[in-house]
Amino acid sequence: MRKVGILGGMGPEATVLLMKKIIECTKAQDDQDHIPLLVDNNTQVPSRIEAIINKNGSDPLPELCKMANSLEKNGASALAMPCNTAHLYIKEIRKQIKIPFISIVEESAAYLKKVQFGAKKIGILASPAVKITKIFEYELEKNNMNLIYIGDENLILSTIKQIKSNFVSGSVSEKLEEISIQAKSIQLDLILIACSEFSIVSDEIKRKFNIPVVDTLDILASRIVNFSKKN
């Protein structure tokens, strides 16, 4: 099996969740049947929110390129990254490496196209930084998918920050309830979880929204397993 390098730490719990999902996606009877991973759980990558939304933070790109180069040097056959927002930098990172970089954005768009969600109204649950950078728009809208961001910016940001900071589950649940109420009037066909912090509470999100929910982290985990096992 081929070894996959993970650019992690954005955030650390979401990185562990991706690893857990990779294990769950793998048919294994012994340790040697599992996917070999190199994980850089780098919690010192500059804040994407500060850099993109507030425009007063350090540029994350140099640190991300450093991580990518290190993972490649240490034997990774491909790279992946659970942070959706950080995929703003994937084009520049790809210029610095010789191995494939599995994109959570590209893989999610391909999955939705495959299951024929084209021409559907998709509510995207993501950081406002994802909305600003439009990293999902091109991939989804070119396939006739109507993308709608749900939840107001302050509510989304406060929910993400609370999940990152050892959240009290009750208060996060209340915030998710508020987001779901805001979304109900839109009459969505699908919710796309496109923030790895929201992936941590995906079960709660599924309970709040009475429509299909697709998690980009699930799609990425499945693709990593398929890549690793392909000779």
Residues labelled catalytic: 83, 195
Report yes or no: 192 and 137 within 8 Å, Cβ to Cβ: no
Separation of alpha carbons 72 and 130, rounded Å: 27
Residue 2, both tokens: 């081929």
Paired tokens of 145: 């998918």
The answer to whether 108 touches 219, Cβ cutoff 8 Å, is: yes
Q: Tell me the C-alpha distance between 39 and 115, whole Å.
A: 30
Report how far residue 14's alpha carbon sits from residue 175's, in angstroms, rounded to the nearest whole number: 19
Tokens of 41: 């759980």
- Among residues 24, 14, 12, 13, the alpha carbon closest in space to that of 224 is found at 24
Peptide bond into 11 cis (omega under 30): yes
CB half-sphere exposure, 156, CA atoms < 13 A: 22
Is the separation of the CB atoms in 169 and 133 below 8 Å? Answer: no
